[in-house]
Structures are given as C-alpha cells and as structure tokens.
Amino acid sequence: MRRTSAVASAVLFLSLFAAAQTKPALKIDGKVAAPITITAEEWAKLPRATVMAPRGHSTEKFLFEGVPLKSVLEKAGILDPKKELKGKLLLQYVVITASDGYRAIFSLAELDDATGATANVLLADKMEGKPLNEKEAPLQLIVPTDKRPARCVRMVTTITIGTIAD
C-alpha cells in the first residue's frame, strides 16, 4: 500500500513538474507603467501565429508556433496598434532574456508593423506541433528575417523595456 502511494505521488509530482515546464510564464518589466507576468492561462488567450524558420544554426526550416512578440507588447501596453510610433517612443528598446542569462535586443520601432522589418518575431512554445524540448522551453524567440540566428533566444523568461537617455 505504501509503495503504491509513493509511486502515485511520484507520478503526480512528475506530471505537475512536466506541465509547469511546458506552460510559459513571462515577466515584463523595466520602463513600463507596471511590471506584469503573463501566466499560462493568459498566454493561452493571446493570438497565435506560425512561422517557418531554421532551428539554431541549421539551414533546414521548421514550423514554429506561438504568440507574436508584438501581441505580448500590446498586452503589456508597450505597443498600441491604434497609435503611430513616433517621438520618444522611437528611443525605446526591448531586451529578451533567457533563464541562462543570454540576451538579445530590438528597438521598439523594429517590432512595430508600420515601421519595422521584424514585425513577424514570434515567441514560440511549439515546434512542428510539439512543445519545445527542455533546452528551449518555456519559450523560444524566433526571428525569421535575421540572416543568422543570434537573436533566436531559447529559454525566454523576461522581456525588459528600456529607453535611451536623451
């Protein structure tokens, strides 16, 4: 009886741990009105998209699925699709940080549909219809327009908004 209970407890713990590993929670901080954390439940309600892009330094392209970075920035109140990006907003930047400390940076204008060439940047949680593996999860930044994948940050946990001092 004890052994069955211990096995059941272990199975429950492992399934909860695995579920926690695949469900993204994303922190947005820095020069924002108020820092927020997008929970797994909120993440599930955000608009979804797919892009074809290489995985790492491979030349082979894969289908990535997730939430457009611009949608996350809109949810956080950083981008407003109804307002033109101009003036001091053009001095803002976005830093994407991974759990291992790796970071990549974008100007906010790059991510705006009206001005940016990288408006199709994706925070992927799936590749080829399956959750990301443990070396990539919970989220991987996919930048399909970059010629080399230096900004394809894996294990994304935080987005920090900054402003260049004028």
Residue 102 lies in a domain: yes
pLDDT band with cut points at 50, 70 and 90 for residue 58: confident
Mean pLDDT of 36-42: 95
Reference 143, options 134, 157, 131, 156; nearest CA is: 156
Residue 10 lies in a domain: no
Residue 9 lies in a domain: no
Residue 8 lies in a domain: no
Question: Across the chain, what does the average pLDDT equal?
Answer: 86
pTM of the model: 0.83
Q: Longest C-alpha distance within the chain, in Å?
A: 69
Mean pLDDT of 129-155: 93
Residue 46 is encoded by which pair of tokens?
């955000």
Q: Which residues neighbour 65 within 8 Å (Cβ) at sequence distance 6 or greater?
A: 48, 49, 50, 122, 124, 125, 126, 127, 129
Range of the domain at 100: 24-163
Higher pLDDT, 117 or 162: 162
Provide the CATH number for the domain around residue 49.
Answer: 3.90.420.10
- Decide if pLDDT at 129 tops 60: yes
Higher pLDDT, 33 or 158: 158
